[in-house]
A and B are shown apart, each in its own frame.
Chain A
Amino acid sequence: MSTSSREDLSAILGHFGPYGGRFVPEALIGALEELEEAHRISQSDPTFLAELAELHRTYTGRPSIITEAKRFAEHAGGARIILKREDLNHTGSHKINNVLGQALLTKRMGKKRIIAETGAGQHGVASATAAALMGLECVVYMGEEDTKRQSLNVARMKLLGAEVIPVTSGSRTLKDAINEAMRDWVTNVETTHYMLGTVAGPHPFPTMVRDFHKIIGEETREQVLALTGRLPDAVLACVGGGSNAIGIFHRFISDPSVRLIGLEAGGDGVETGRHAATITGGTPGVLHGTRSYVLQDENGQTVESHSISAGLDYPGVGPEHAYLHDIGRAEYRAITDAQAMHAFALLSKTEGIIPAIETAHALAGAMQVGNELGKDAIIVINLSGRGDKDVQTAASYFGIPLD
């Protein structure tokens, strides 16, 4: 049954308490209903699930391993620190989980063209990869500012056959890339699937993208139980839009003893106003088709976010995080650029793992939480991406000459 035939229209799926929903031009309703239906059917279709599982086994490299970070743990109050290694997935981050799922749905819906937005370039690279694998045309919108910060990923997308369109409107970052992708989608919706990269946007995206990432938490729970014999005390992840965090949190929501902690981008510090910590420093509002926390002014205009991490530099956040925050099931803290970069360097030097700068926010959070909980605690961190793309930014930050 389609949503349009329900009697109680306010009972539409896709709400998380007061958050979520669908705030979009009427032109997109048909496509969202089609996608919602395709996703719903696929979730109980053994053929679809087997196809996706096979891709994850033979292409993504799932299950991703866990690594105990013993030397890093010395800087985190001596707690046991366990890293879920999404950085080892094909394309270097968790983003591949979602794009393979959405690419399969795109083919099922008979569409031949995908568009995507990207901030750091990880979702753009993943989308371009999935498009190459499945023979789809791919256009990636990327803020002009981000194409400069992440020029390596721009080249990767082009090598994969995607067209990268620099977006010059607004703050020239992720938010503006989403605006431009939505304009494309409104115009070309009949032939085009919008491969949104995070758990935000209009229903069904927050639910669908979560469903494609929840495998992270399902694997982690089993792996940690096998390694330690018990559930962890806390599960940590960085939060921009919030896809890797929801992915690892979801299986643990029904385990009340496990604290779920999201680390937002504090930029120069939340008190300076130059940050991207949407839950910590924002207010409820509507942005990009969903109701959630938003960085906005008194007139409801979106305020530009700031973060050293292009992937977290977004003034919105997924609606399920807003809900988990309000009901007290998850906690959200802000990590400054400086704290994140300290953790970035530390993990590199103590474990031989260079994390993405996004992920470094979660590592900095683990250093705080480890010190709070002490050495008997078990802390799991979603190591959502690897730092190859960030070498230039980090070299510049730490004053390492590049020639």
Chain B
Amino acid sequence: MTALDQLFVKVRAENRAALIAYIPAGFPSQAGCHRVIAAFIAGGVDAIEIGYPYSDPVMDGPTIQAAAVTSLENGTGAQEVLAALKVASASVPAVVMTYWNPIERFGVTGFAAAIAENGGSGVITPDLTIEESTGWIDATDDSAINPIYVVAPSTKDARLAQVTSKCGGFVYAASLMGVTGARATVSTGAADLVARVRKVTDLPIAVGLGVSTREQAKGVAAYADGVIVGSAFIKAMQDAPSEEAGLAAVTELARELAKGVREGR
């Protein structure tokens, strides 16, 4: 059982959803990312996703694209991602979220092993299809980490069963058809998708894409096991007049969202 698996056992016992926060490694700088992680923890997040910045982020909206550019300019590579993972996993369950090519370039078996060595619970791979996953499933099994897949509102029921059967830790349910980024309202499609996923798996289900406020977190927590927030934290850092102010805003936002995930039921 990974630390992430244990977290979901705990939040289910507490009858609430988990708050999962996303930050790319190397944003706003290598040390700055470590300070954001501390701000997350001070604000009470339950788990952290460390993003591996990628040159061609086809699933990301402008906010995360801009953060990835900054991070790559800061020289972020596999070692910096693993260093951030180690910092996060010392306090809360932590995973890496990455497009597939950096894993393939690093070496599939070695990457899974490095995640485990740095205290990581798993890896979210949004552009890895189950058809291309044979080597990856073996590698994550060997390293005892969770392979986490993303499903979408357009995913048909039969395929939901296939994808979730390969999945560990939690199922990442993308709330809408589109790229990452804060939205005024969380798509109503999310609740329908979570209900469809429930029919095919007992795994926890976390909802991502578009959540940025306590009210939205509360709404999602009513039906999901986890609430994933990314762009809103990055925007808080980008919009702040100084890093110090940004970190304070991140902690404050995390506190609000942490209340939200406890108010949903």
Contacts and interface: CB of A to CB of B under 8 A. Distances in A.
A22 to B, nearest CB: 5
A289 B58 CA distance: 10
A29 interface: yes
B59 A186 contact: yes
Nearest to B149: A26
Contacts of B154: 26-31, 189-190
Contacts, number: 121
Nearest to B60: A183
Contacts of A21: 129, 131-132
Interface string A268-309: 000000000000000001111101001010111110000000
A285 B177 CA distance: 27
A5 interface: yes
A189 to B, nearest CB: 6
B152 A300 contact: no
A182 B163 CA distance: 22
Contacts of A28: 154
B179 A23 contact: no
Contacts of A287: 56, 101
Nearest to B103: A300
A352 interface: no
Contacts of A226: none
Contacts of A189: 154, 177
B55 interface: yes
Interface in B117-166: 126-132, 134, 149-156, 158-159, 162-163
Interface residues of B, number: 42
A31 B56 CA distance: 21
Contact of B56 (A9, A25, A291, A302): A302
B178 interface: yes
Contacts of A298: 77, 105
Interface string A164-195: 00000110000110010011001111100000
Contact of A26 (B61, B65, B103, B151): B151
B178 A296 contact: no
Interface of B: 54-59, 61, 65, 72, 77-78, 100-106, 126-132, 134, 149-156, 158-159, 162-163, 174, 177-179
10 contacts: A9-B130, A21-B129, A26-B129, A30-B155, A176-B56, A285-B101, A298-B77, A298-B105, A300-B54, A300-B102
Interface of A: 3-5, 9-10, 12, 21-31, 169-170, 175-176, 179, 182-183, 186-190, 285-289, 291, 294, 296, 298-302
Given A4-B162, A22-B131, A31-B154, 13 more contacts: A3-B131, A21-B129, A22-B132, A25-B59, A26-B159, A27-B154, A27-B177, A29-B159, A176-B56, A286-B100, A286-B104, A300-B104, A300-B106
